[in-house]
Amino acid sequence: MTSHQPNENAKFPEGQSGFWKWLNHRTGIDDVLKTALYEPIPGGARFAYIFGSGLLFIFISQVITGVFLALYYVPSADHAHTTVAYITKAVTAGSFLRSLHAYGASAMVVVLFLHLSQTFIYGSYKGKREILWLSGCVLFALVLGMAFTGYLLPWDQRAYFATAVGTNAASEIPLVGESLKLLMRGGTEMGTLTISRFFVAHVFLIPAFIFALVGSHIFLFRKAGAAGPVDEDPIEPKQQPELFYPRQVLMDLALTALLIVFLGLLSFFVPMQIGPPANPADAQYVPRPEWYYLPIFQWLKYWHGSAAIVGVLMIPTVLVLAVVALPFFDRSAERRPWKRPIAMSSYIFLVVALLGLGLRSGYVDRHDPSVAQQLAKQKTEEDEYARKPFEPELSSLSLAAANVALADPAAAKGKAIFEAQSCNACHGDAGVGTAAAPALVGIKAKYSAEQVENLFKHPTAKMTAGGMPPIDLPPDDLKALITYVRSLN
């Protein structure tokens, strides 16, 4: 391997143009880029270090796809599901975009786990990096918060019931649990206020904190310096450093490229579905969370009654505190995993436990016939709903008209004739009116049935001028059409 000495006098880029000189004079961009790209990495670039940049890339991708989704999304119990169905079924590339966002969330959790594992196994949290570790812990919690709040927003059956379970689990926490549930739901039941709260958290609050913390996290990382390989001194590195640019940048970009290809192919070939709209009255629905919440979901099943306080509160609190406080009590500078048996066995135990709980959850579901049957039924309903073309919401006006028309068989027949004769081409669906012709709603107050019949047979000059032909139909059909037209309210 060639040596990669840091060159303090390096200029970026080579061969400066007049424009670059001007820009640099105004902004100092040369120094910014130098600081960003010429970071020394003790022991040289490695693929083990790529996960942090990977997370940054996914976060940016989530922001961009999220902004496009927000162009269509309406956060209310009445419209959330319709607007997501519209994105999925009607908007050009909408399904692809939404899938990128939804799979991006899962990718985030996976890469976050890899980043955390690398930091832990390499002992990179050691050597004056306590606050860097703490900022990472907060980011971890924020990412899980993003996953939790985002899951509800489509307001389909799956989203509604998973969030009902999630918010109920929070209420198990002694003392504050009930208030916490009320705070999240915006009331005792889930509805528009819940969507609004989750939406605000998902789109404004948590992302703002993530932006701030990503900034601090990178700043603190640069301040402490890259920790390098496991046999390196975490405070005063001695191994030959290599600059971040170009080799480490390229390695980081390799992961980014892999993520783009993987998420792109997945979103294109296995797009994220949307299920039927949330129906809170459905008592049969068996809720299941997103895969990364399955271990917690399974864990909570084991703790009931008075034991709940141990399983729901004490054990998780101790675990979280142990992780958060890690760099404060693990003070040795030893970073080689094989010299840290307690740390490494704890890590392996935790990973195996999480995996075991997650797999157990799936196993239990498959081996309980009634649950398995209900889950299969839910999947079928979801597939069926996903295949149906997009159905727009009816306005209250046309809905009322359609209902009246359906109440009377003659009017129902008339409605069919109205559409078959293309009356709706000018007068609009359900006679609500268009630019070409006036609304027919309320015509009953204006004309008697005889007068309408007369108009149909002998159109006025204005009607003829507007392109409305005389209506020539068998007497029964004519009567049905008149009944329908006069039923429009």
Applying CB under 6 A, which residues contact ligand HEC? 418, 421-423, 425-427, 436-438, 440, 443, 446, 452, 455, 462-463, 466-468, 471, 481, 485
In angstroms and rounded to an integer, the radius of gyration of the C-alpha atoms of the chain is 31
Report the nearest approach of ligand HEC to the CB of residue 478 (Å).
10
SS (H, E, C) the chain: CCCCCCCCCCCCCCCCCHHHHHHHHHHCHHHHHHHHHCCEEECCCCHHHCHHHHHHHHHHHHHHHHHHHHCCCCCCCCCHHHHHHHHHHCCCCHHHHHHHHHHHHHHHHHHHHHHHHHHHHCCCCCCCCHHHHHHHHHHHHHHHHHHHHHHHCCCEHHHHHHHHHHHHHHCCCCCCHHHHHHHHHCCCCCCHHHHHHHHHHHHHHHHHHHHHHHHHHHHHHHHHCCCCCCCCCCCCCCCCEEEHHHHHHHHHHHHHHHHHHHHHHHHHHCCCCCCCECCCCCCCCCCCCCHHHHHHHHHHHCCCHHHHHHHHHHHHHHHHHHHHCHHHHCCCCCCCHHHCHHHHHHHHHHHHHHHHHHHHHHHHHHHCHHHHHHHHHHHHHHHHHHHCCCCCCCCHHHHHHHHHHHHCHHHHHHHHHHHHCCHHHHHCHHHCCCCCCCCCCCHHHCCCHHHHHHHHHCCCHHHHHCCCCCCCCCHHHHHHHHHHHHHCC
Closest to ligand HEC by CB, 45 or 452: 452
Provide the token pair at 51.
């996960």
Closest to ligand HEC by CB, 279 or 451: 451
Closest to ligand HEC by CB, 100 or 480: 480
Closest to ligand HEC by CB, 51 or 418: 418
Report the nearest approach of ligand HEC to the CB of residue 482 (Å).
8
Provide the token pair at 60.
């940016």
Report the nearest approach of ligand HEC to the CB of residue 403 (Å).
20
Are residues 280 and 160 in contact, defined by beta-carbon separation less than 8 angstroms?
Answer: yes
Q: Which residue is nearest to ligand HEC (CB)?
A: 466
What's the rounded Cα separation, in Å, for the pair 49 and 40? 13
Report the nearest approach of ligand HEC to the CB of residue 483 (Å).
11
Closest to ligand HEC by CB, 28 or 469: 469
Closest to ligand HEC by CB, 210 or 455: 455
Closest to ligand HEC by CB, 244 or 418: 418
Report the nearest approach of ligand HEC to the CB of residue 470 (Å).
9
For residue 42, what are the β-bridge partners? 241
Report the nearest approach of ligand HEC to the CB of residue 396 (Å).
22
Closest to ligand HEC by CB, 7 or 454: 454
Report the nearest approach of ligand HEC to the CB of residue 488 (Å).
10
Closest to ligand HEC by CB, 322 or 436: 436
What's phi and psi for 77, nearest 5 deg?
-60, -25
Closest to ligand HEC by CB, 222 or 479: 479
Are residues 51 and 115 in contact, defined by beta-carbon separation less than 8 angstroms?
Answer: yes
What's the rounded Cα separation, in Å, for the pair 130 and 220? 10
Closest to ligand HEC by CB, 326 or 437: 437
* The length of the chain, given as a count of residues: 489
Report the nearest approach of ligand HEC to the CB of residue 166 (Å).
53
Report the nearest approach of ligand HEC to the CB of residue 445 (Å).
10
Closest to ligand HEC by CB, 49 or 456: 456
Report the nearest approach of ligand HEC to the CB of residue 474 (Å).
13
Is the peptide bond between 229 and the residue preceding it cis, with omega within 30 degrees of 0?
no
Are residues 357 and 363 in contact, defined by beta-carbon separation less than 8 angstroms?
Answer: no
Report the nearest approach of ligand HEC to the CB of residue 460 (Å).
6
Report the nearest approach of ligand HEC to the CB of residue 420 (Å).
9
